[in-house]
Each structure stands twice: as structure tokens, then as C-alpha cells.
Amino acid sequence: MRRALLGIGLSCLVVLTGCSDGTPAVPTVPTTTNTGPGGSTLKTTAPSLVSPLAGQRITGNQPTLVLQNVSAEFAPGTQVSYEFQVTSLTGQVIYTRTVAGGVANGQGTTSHTVASPLTSNTSYRWRARAILGNDAGPFSNDPSGPVMFVTSSLGPQSSVEDFRVFFFALIDQKGLGPTASAQALGAMEADLSAVGIILEKTSSGVIRGRLYLPTGNPNNLFSRAVDIGSFGGPWQWVNRGNSTVCEGIC
């Protein structure tokens, strides 16, 4: 009987500390990784996006992104960070940041304000996922999903730099290449007009290489005139200001 009890004790000792030959026991604890959809390697839920959503038009070009915190499957007390991504409508990542989150218990929200100004009057998607070390949970949504937000439109209150960023982003978006031309400006005219930019033209309607940005005063357009380079050469952005004289229809 004593011998039998001793055997039980030894058996328990092997489970707790290892085998009698010195090989360490392998504890049977749940893993925190997986290889689920999207290449996720952290067993958490995907964050629920709170705002902005559904094509919301935001004020300004630096939205505050808000998500519902995730839950961890095995360790709800785990501290996680969050990776925020802003993407174009084609899925290209425009902006990404990883910020400190908190306990992965599904409670509360985490917010992040985009640090770099986005292009004005442009549609974007955004998504997020939990991060722990080198492991990452599933993203909140597919990058080809619906438009999440639209940046505010340009206008008289916008800086010349805001218009410059918009102008060159539009060239890239339309694939118009590095060379300035009347044809390229014509292809952009509807988009430029939508934000108040006027193309200078000859009296017969031929497009010239000058833009007039909105000022809020139709009699003072010359104060925000811009030359975009000679046709056949590279695109430029040269502020002309009050030294400008209209050479046609303005």
C-alpha cells in the first residue's frame, strides 16, 4: 500500500516537474496564435469600426478614427495595441499607424487622429486590427469594402498648399503622366471646377496653363493664380499672386 502511494506521488511529480530522465515536461496551455483569414496570428476578435462610416463627409483632412476594442479568446486581460490603416478605393495603403490600446476585453473604444493630412474631397476606406508583439489579429473589414469617409471639399478657406496636393493627386488618380498639356487639363476640368478652380482660356475657349483658385471674392481671383508649367514640359506649381494679368477668359 505504501509502495502504491509512493508510485502515485512520483507520477504526479513527473507531471509537474518533468520526467525522471531529466527531460522537462511540456505544459499543456492554450496557444494564442492562429493562421486564420487575412493571415491573422493573434486570436482576438476583429475590431468593430465605430466612426467614420458609410461615406460620411468629415470636416477637414485628418479624421479621428474610432474602433470598439477587441476581445482576446484565451486571455481577456491581455494588453494589445491597434494598427490603423487608411486605404484608397483601390486598396492601396495611404496611411498606417500602430497606437497603444488597452486590455483586450471588448470594453470601451480606442481612437486615433490621422497625423498626415489626406487629399481633400477624396473618398477613403479604413480598417484596423489588434497587435501583440509580432502577432496580429484579423482586420476589421475587407479593403475592397464600401467607402468609409470623404474628406471635406476644398474652398476659399483652403490653403494654396491644399490645392496643390489635390491637383497632383488628381493627376495621379487619372493617370495623366508627368507632362503638362491642354488635353490633360481638359480631362481634369470637371474635377477642378467642382472645388472652385477656374481654368484660364483664350477668348476662343482654348485652355491655357494657368489656374485661378477660389478666394470667396469673384473680383479678386488674381490673388490666388497659379501657373502649372509650359505645355510639353513637366507639371509645375508656381504661385503668381497679385502680379497676375488675365490673358483670356478667367
- Distance CA(136)–CA(131), nearest Å, equals 5
- Distance CA(6)–CA(246), nearest Å, equals 104
φ/ψ of residue 63, rounded to 5? -70, 155
Q: Which three cell numbers stand for residue 212?
A: 485661378
- The pLDDT value given to residue 143: 64
- The pLDDT value given to residue 194: 79
In this structure, the dihedral spanned by the alpha carbons of residues 216, 123, 117 and 208, taken in order and rounded to 10 degrees, is -50
- The pLDDT value given to residue 117: 83
- Distance CA(196)–CA(244), nearest Å, equals 18
The CATH T-level fold of domain 37-150 is: Immunoglobulin-like (2.60.40)
- Distance CA(135)–CA(141), nearest Å, equals 18
Question: Domain residue spans in the chain?
Answer: 37-150, 160-243
Q: 6 by DSSP, 3-state: which?
A: helix
Place of cell 475590431: 47
What is the per-residue DSSP string for 124-172?
EEEEEEEEETTEE---SS-TTS---EEPPPP-TTS-HHHHHHHHHHHHH
Q: What are the pLDDT tens digits along the chain (250 aa)? A: 444 433 334 333 333 334 445 544 433 333 334 444 445 577 888 999 999 998 888 877 889 999 999 998 766 678 899 999 999 888 899 999 999 988 888 899 999 999 988 887 788 999 999 998 888 989 998 666 788 898 887 788 788 888 898 898 889 878 899 999 999 999 999 888 878 899 999 988 999 999 999 988 877 778 889 999 999 999 999 998 776 667 666 6
φ/ψ of residue 23, rounded to 5? -70, 125
What is this structure's pTM? 0.53
Is the Cβ–Cβ distance between 70 and 46 less than 8 Å? Answer: yes
- The pLDDT value given to residue 216: 82
